[in-house]
Amino acid sequence: MKYFLITYATKTGSTKKVAEFIALSLTNKGIKTNVLPMNEVTSFNDYTGVIIGAPVNGMQWLPEAKAFITKNMDTLRTLPVAYYLLAVVLNGGRPFFVNKLSKAFDTSSQIVTPVTCGFFKGIITGEPPFILRLIFGLKKDIPKAIENSKEIQDWSEQLIELM
Ligand SMILES: Cc1cc2nc3c(=O)[nH]c(=O)nc-3n(C[C@H](O)[C@H](O)[C@H](O)COP(=O)(O)O)c2cc1C
């Protein structure tokens, strides 16, 4: 029976919410899941697959994610693994930055090759600071919630075939 670990790093909580939504999407399809922050993962014994999520800060996938993958690479290489990121620039930001995100998983993928990668719209609580909007070319009214995202649900469901 499939049993997926969904592990995340977060600064402001939205990557955790996405982890929980991925878990819900999989549970609704009969897949057993466990959601844990990366610093609480002590064993991979029971899992048949691992989903690893972190936000983009300073146009980089959070370094904690790469550190987690490096630390556990021997085990992760024996399991199907998927990566996901959250980036606010995906809310209609400048193509220059959106295109840069395609490289966000490169070094981690060289350490452990994922079956697939998810790119999800990041959340900023409150109004995004002017400087952030200016640099990334964002509008004021970017979405404040990720729950019930069809995009994330579809991505989660295709993992059942891939992993
Ligand atoms: C300090 C900081 C830096 C960020 N840098 C970027 C960035 O370079 N590019 C981007 O698209 N989003 C950036 N964001 C937005 C986050 O990726 C987005 O808000 C995400 O949903 C945050 O995830 P978290 O709540 O799990 O920390 C940044 C957010 C913070 C707080």
Cα of 107 to ligand 1 centre, how many Å?
19
Q: Alpha helices of the chain — where are they, by DSSP H?
A: 14-27, 63-71, 73-76, 95-100, 106-111, 130-136, 150-162
Residue partners of 44: CB distance under 8 A and separation at least 6:
5, 50, 72, 75, 76, 79
Structure tokens at 116: 């697939």
Report CA(14)–ligand 1 centroid distance (Å). 9
Q: Specify the pTM.
A: 0.96
Q: Catalogue all structural domains in the chain, each as residue range(s) with its CATH number.
A: 3-151 (3.40.50.360)
Low-confidence ranges of the chain (pLDDT < 70): 147-148
Ligand 1 pocket test, pick from 7, 10, 16, 56 with the greatest ligand atom count within 8 Å of Cβ, gives: 56
What lies within 8 Å, CB to CB, of 45 at 6+ separation is: none
What pLDDT score was predicted for residue 147? 62
pLDDT score of 140: 81
Residue nearest to ligand 1 atom 20, measured at CA: 122
What pLDDT shows up at residue 157? 98
Q: Which residues sit with their C-beta closer than 6 Å to ligand 1?
A: 10-15, 55-59, 86-89, 122-124
CA separation for the pair 159, 163 (Å, rounded): 6
